[in-house]
Structure 1
Amino acid sequence: MRWTLKPKPQISKVEELKKALQVNDIVATLLLQRGIESYEAAKTFFRPSFEDLHDPFLMKDMDKAVARIEKAIADGENILVYGDYDVDGTTSVALMSSYLKTRLDSVATYIPDRYDEGYGISYKGIDFAHDNDFSLIIALDCGVKAVDKVKYAKDKGIDFIICDHHRPGNKLPEAIAVLDPKRDDCDYPFKELCGCGVGFKLITALASKEGQTVEDLVEYLDLVATAIGADIVPIVGENRALAHIGLHVINTAPRPGMKAIIAEVKKEELTITDVVFIIAPRINAAGRMKHGNHAVTLLTETDFNLAAEYAVDIDQFNTDRKETDRRITEEALLQIEENNEQEGFTTVVYNENWHKGVIGIVASRLIETYYRPTLVFTKSREKLAASARSVKGFDVYNALEACSEYIEQFGGHKYAAGLTLLPENYEGFKTKFESVVKATIDPKLLTPELKVDLEIELSQIDHKLFRILRQFAPFGPGNMSPTFMTQGVKDTGWGKCVGEDDKHLRFTATQSPHDNMVCIGFGLGDKIDFIKARQAFSIAYSIDENHWNGNTSLQLKLKDIKP
């Protein structure tokens, strides 16, 4: 890893904020690095609330969307709630359908089949709507680029409302309303909502016409918080408030489906990290291994006993998913070695038998070994389908756009995308993608960056600091858990490798006889030589709490060690 120390704020600003908040240098510096420069800004940061949310009608086309849905409710039309098969999509569908069913009986849901229909709005889904007399489709977490499909629906007499957060193309679909804060002509103040977040803004607008406020919709925020965590959107601004309140709902009054998942994993209080690594993979596993409908059924179930049965199935899907992605990752790594493709600026692998549902996870796993933009392809009917993942700082979406002559269809974000192409274009695409990345990537981005907030001494770490740092949560992009570095530490002499295959490292670091700190380094077992050499070294870490035998103590969660 290359360690990058964040710039220190001006001393005068640190002193000013210290005085205003009655905090120490460390806390004031961390806040200033996050753009928090005043007492009021700190109050908003530490106490996120409904007051931090913007008026939903500031979003372009919101008035049109609300008017069309109100007409559908008044006329008793059939409404189809349509969403993607991932966490953001299925939580969005659960949210929108649950709310609409409080006002209308004739509401149904539709999740496309990952293998039969692929990502986004499908002709099959529109035909389903037409065959079953749905006159309005509300699409969530997809649709902003579905120009041809929306026209196809319009020709069949079906209206569309789109709630999306992906980048629009050059032309917007001819829908009744296209709600997407990333539209160039949308002045909505916060651009980083996830799909479920856009859906929540829509139900907030609908509820306001019924005399309700956002506080009357708090029960839906467990879904929104889950989507925010899973979709890796920045946890700043509105997302911070929605995630903060939503986490409280998850931990105090979750919907039966969410409660059933939590009961399966037997975890007491969940953080946003738990949502990302415990709840989200289980919801995602339904669409990966079976069908996204299973996730929607679980998340909309009102009877806990039934939800508990569904949660068992979801847990099994997740177990199957883990085994499948482990096997495919091994096969992909072997393919790279056998083809002698360890060098270069990209990783592109293909096997027609790989499970389409896990290729995105496999791409992420390959980046852990070969840190570079990665695509994993498999066969999908007559075409090849791929998931793309990128390294920090490189926009893989733009790189794919530069290869568009080889691609049938693609969409996504800066760091994650999906695409399809014809088999005969695979080799041409692979060559072009390598050349585009080689020409545009800064070579230093091919070494993982560890951003360090601040250099401190071990003697500055205490329970009071840790209690304040906990209040920086929820953590995520835009507000990562603070990373510190300390130089000139030594092991007290008892350092050792622990865990299966000695993968992890555990030792006690010291700078002086009075400031010993226990350190745990997951996956850092190969750094044991630094410890045994009895020479001073540097550590990068976050501050954590260790609970053992009823005792609680501070420990350092290591991220890297250097001489």
Structure 2
Amino acid sequence: MRWTIKPKPQAEKVNKLATALGTDPVIASLLIQRNMETFEDVRNFFRPSLDHLHDPFLMRDMDKAVTRIEQALEQGENILVYGDYDVDGTTSVALMSSYLISRYPNVATYIPDRYEEGYGVSFQGIDYAHDNNMTLIIALDCGIKAMDKIDYARQKGIDFIVCDHHRPGAALPKAVAVLDPKREDCEYPYKELCGCGVGFKLIQALASRKGQDVRSLAPYLDLVATAIAADIVPITGENRVLAYYGLKRINTAPRPGIKALTQNIQKQKLNITDVVFVIAPRINAAGRMKHGLHAVNLLTEADIDAATAFAGEIEAFNTNRKLLDQQITEEALAQIEERSEQEAYTTVVYDEHWHKGVIGIVASRLTETYYRPTLVFTKTGNKLAASARSVKGFDVYNALERCSAYIEQFGGHKYAAGLTLLPEQYDNFKKQFELVVAETIDKKLLVPEIAIDAELDLNAITPKFYRILKQFAPFGPGNMTPVFMSSSLRDNGFGKGVGEQEKHLKVCVTQNNSPAFGGIGFNLGHKIHLILERKPFQAVYCIEENNWNGNVSLQLRLQDIKE
């Protein structure tokens, strides 16, 4: 692991903010690192408000989108709400369809089949709309590059509204409205919304035309928070406000579908991590293993008993997904180990039998293992499909753009993307991808980084200090859980390896005359020699609560230790 300490903010700024807030300089420093330098900034950060959301009509084409939907409602048109099969797409479809149905009955939903149609807008989906006399399609979390599909729809008398957050290509589709804050000509103040977030801005605009306040849309925020967490977008600005209130909704009045997915979690309060690791994988499993419409049905179901039955089906999909994920990961790792010459800067693997629904998860696992920009390919029809994952700091989308001569279709983000190509182009693409990454990546990015917010004395860790830290939540990209480093730590002599094969490291440490703090380091059991015989060591850690037999104490969650 590569330890990097973030630059210290100017002492003058830190002292000024600490005095204004009446708080510890370490807290002030953490806030300045998150671009908060005034009392007003900090108040808005610690007290998010729905009033902080931007006017949705600041988004390019929003007025056109609202006018076209209102026209459809007035004229009794049939509307199709269309979305991708992942969490962002299915939550977007659930949000938009349930909002429209609350006002108007002629609304249907469509999720493309992952295996027959692939990602995004499909000709088959447009044919479905035409066969069912639908004259307006609202596409969510997809469509920004569907030029040919949207032209096809126009020929059939179907209008499109695109709500997307992926980077546009050189040209925009000829839709009635294209809502995407990443459009170069869009001056919307916040660029990092997920697809469901863009969908929420559209229903916010529709509601405002009826004189409704944004608070009337609170019942939809559990969906938005789930999409924000699953899509790993920055939890800053508007996303932080939406995630904050969405989590509040999940914990107090979730929709029946989300309640059914979380009823076995023995926790008083769910956080973003619970959404990422409990709710999101199950919603995703529907599209991976069967069909994304199962997830939409779950998320729009109003009856808790029916929702519980849907959740049971999805749990079975998720169990199957986990088995396939484990099997394919093992096969991919074996394939890499068997090579006589491994690529220096990338990991690219392929097997025509691998399940398309889990290659993205496998790509993430391989990235964790080898820490290289990674592509996992499988065969789908007469083409090869791949999921790409990247390492922190490297833009895999830009790398794919430089390989576009060998690619049929691709799309995605800086750290995750998908693509298809013809089998005969696989070797050429693989060579070019390795070449592009080798030429453009900063070599230090090939070693996992722990970004440390501040050096800390253990004496500074008090219940009050931790109470303020908790208010930094919800955590995520752009606002990660604060990470600290402490030196001259010593174990009390009872540190040991715990868990299966003593894989994890359990410690109890002091620093000079500080109170003792328990700590747990997952997958750090192999470093136990560094703490034996009360040898001094350095540690990087987060602070968390440990609830054991009803006793709550603060402990260190170790990320790494060094001599």
Same fold (TM over 0.5): yes
Structure 2 CA distance for aligned equivalents of residues 515 and 485 of structure 1: 17
Structure 1 CA distance for aligned equivalents of residues 515 and 341 of structure 2: 47
Q: CA deviation at 1:267?
A: 3.8
Structure 2 CA distance for aligned equivalents of residues 426 and 15 of structure 1: 57
Structure 2 CA distance for aligned equivalents of residues 157 and 343 of structure 1: 50
Correspondence 1:489-508 to 2 at 5 A:
489-508=489-508
Q: CA offsets per residue over residues 529-550 of structure 1, 9 Å max, x none?
A: 1122532110000000000111
Contact 2:234 2:478 in 1 (8 A): yes
Between 528-537 and 245-254, report the one with greater CA deviation: 528-537
Between 9-18 and 61-70, report the one with greater CA deviation: 9-18
Structure 2 CA distance for aligned equivalents of residues 242 and 177 of structure 1: 24
Between 13-22 and 296-305, report the one with greater CA deviation: 13-22
2:526 is aligned with 1:538: no
Structure 2 CA distance for aligned equivalents of residues 368 and 238 of structure 1: 30
Q: CA offsets per residue over residues 370-398 of structure 1, 9 Å max, x none?
A: 01100000000100000000000000001
Structure 1 CA distance for aligned equivalents of residues 195 and 56 of structure 2: 14
Structure 1 counterpart of 2:155:
155
Structure 2 CA distance for aligned equivalents of residues 319 and 551 of structure 1: 33
Counterpart amino acid of residue 152 in structure 1: Y
Contact 1:193 1:239 in 2 (8 A): yes
In structure 1, the residue corresponding to 2:531 is in which secondary structure?
A: helix
2:553 is aligned with 1:550: no
Structure 2 counterpart of 1:257:
257
Counterpart amino acid of residue 308 in structure 1: T
Contact 1:264 1:311 in 2 (8 A): no
Q: CA deviation at 1:351?
A: 0.4
Structure 1 counterpart of 2:114:
114
Structure 2 CA distance for aligned equivalents of residues 315 and 521 of structure 1: 30
Contact 2:377 2:385 in 1 (8 A): yes
Structure 1 counterpart of 2:195:
195
Structure 2 counterpart of 1:124:
124
Structure 1 CA distance for aligned equivalents of residues 295 and 505 of structure 2: 38
Normalising by the residue count of structure 1, what TM-score does the alignment of the two structures yield? 0.99
In structure 1, the residue corresponding to 2:535 is in which secondary structure?
A: coil
Structure 1 counterpart of 2:282:
282
- Unaligned 5+ runs, structure 2: none
Structure 2 CA distance for aligned equivalents of residues 267 and 360 of structure 1: 29
Contact 2:5 2:453 in 1 (8 A): yes
Normalising by the residue count of structure 2, what TM-score does the alignment of the two structures yield? 0.99
Structure 1 counterpart of 2:218:
218
Contact 2:493 2:533 in 1 (8 A): no
Contact 1:90 1:295 in 2 (8 A): yes
Structure 2 counterpart of 1:170:
170
Counterpart amino acid of residue 535 in structure 2: Q
Q: Sort the Cα spacing of 1:365 and 1:341 in 2 relative to 1 into closer, same or farther, 3 A.
A: farther
Counterpart amino acid of residue 217 in structure 2: L
Structure 1 CA distance for aligned equivalents of residues 18 and 418 of structure 2: 46
Structure 2 counterpart of 1:363:
363
Structure 1 CA distance for aligned equivalents of residues 155 and 267 of structure 2: 50
Q: CA deviation at 1:246?
A: 0.5
Contact 1:378 1:384 in 2 (8 A): yes
CA RMSD of aligned residues (A): 0.9
Structure 1 CA distance for aligned equivalents of residues 149 and 533 of structure 2: 64
Structure 1 counterpart of 2:352:
352
Structure 1 counterpart of 2:20:
20
Structure 1 CA distance for aligned equivalents of residues 340 and 346 of structure 2: 13
In structure 2, the residue corresponding to 1:119 is in which secondary structure?
A: coil
Contact 2:82 2:111 in 1 (8 A): yes
Q: CA offsets per residue over residues 263-285 of structure 1, 9 Å max, x none?
A: 14444311011111111011001
Structure 2 counterpart of 1:32:
32
Q: CA deviation at 1:472?
A: 0.2
Structure 1 CA distance for aligned equivalents of residues 377 and 232 of structure 2: 23
2:522 is aligned with 1:522: yes
Between 499-508 and 178-187, report the one with greater CA deviation: 499-508
Structure 2 CA distance for aligned equivalents of residues 356 and 82 of structure 1: 21
Counterpart amino acid of residue 51 in structure 1: D
In structure 1, the residue corresponding to 2:134 is in which secondary structure?
A: coil
Structure 2 CA distance for aligned equivalents of residues 176 and 525 of structure 1: 58
Counterpart amino acid of residue 194 in structure 1: C
Q: CA deviation at 1:460?
A: 1.0
In structure 1, the residue corresponding to 2:263 is in which secondary structure?
A: helix
Contact 1:364 1:389 in 2 (8 A): yes
Counterpart amino acid of residue 25 in structure 1: P
Between 528-537 and 384-393, report the one with greater CA deviation: 528-537
Q: CA deviation at 1:139?
A: 0.1
2:521 is aligned with 1:512: no
Structure 2 counterpart of 1:476:
476
Structure 2 counterpart of 1:433:
433
Between 498-507 and 550-559, report the one with greater CA deviation: 498-507
Between 381-390 and 530-539, report the one with greater CA deviation: 530-539
Correspondence 1:299-318 to 2 at 5 A:
299-318=299-318
Q: Sort the Cα spacing of 1:552 and 1:84 in 2 relative to 1 into closer, same or farther, 3 A.
A: same
Q: CA offsets per residue over residues 445-477 of structure 1, 9 Å max, x none?
A: 000111000001111111111110000000000
Contact 2:287 2:357 in 1 (8 A): yes
2:183 is aligned with 1:183: yes
Contact 1:48 1:244 in 2 (8 A): yes
Q: Sort the Cα spacing of 1:341 and 1:199 in 2 relative to 1 into closer, same or farther, 3 A.
A: farther
Counterpart amino acid of residue 259 in structure 1: K
Q: CA offsets per residue over residues 316-352 of structure 1, 9 Å max, x none?
A: 1111111110110000000001123545100000000
Contact 1:137 1:158 in 2 (8 A): yes
- Unaligned 5+ runs, structure 1: none
Q: CA deviation at 1:514?
A: 3.7
Structure 2 counterpart of 1:57:
57
Structure 1 CA distance for aligned equivalents of residues 460 and 150 of structure 2: 59
Counterpart amino acid of residue 9 in structure 1: P
Query: What is the aligned residue count?
Result: 563
Q: CA deviation at 1:165?
A: 0.3
In structure 2, the residue corresponding to 1:135 is in which secondary structure?
A: strand
% identity of equivalent residues: 68
Contact 2:343 2:434 in 1 (8 A): no
Contact 1:264 1:312 in 2 (8 A): no
Structure 2 CA distance for aligned equivalents of residues 66 and 341 of structure 1: 56
Contact 1:342 1:370 in 2 (8 A): no
Structure 1 CA distance for aligned equivalents of residues 135 and 452 of structure 2: 53
Contact 1:190 1:237 in 2 (8 A): yes
Structure 1 CA distance for aligned equivalents of residues 359 and 515 of structure 2: 46
Q: CA offsets per residue over residues 180-225 of structure 1, 9 Å max, x none?
A: 0000000000000000000000000001111101011000000000
Q: CA deviation at 1:407?
A: 0.4
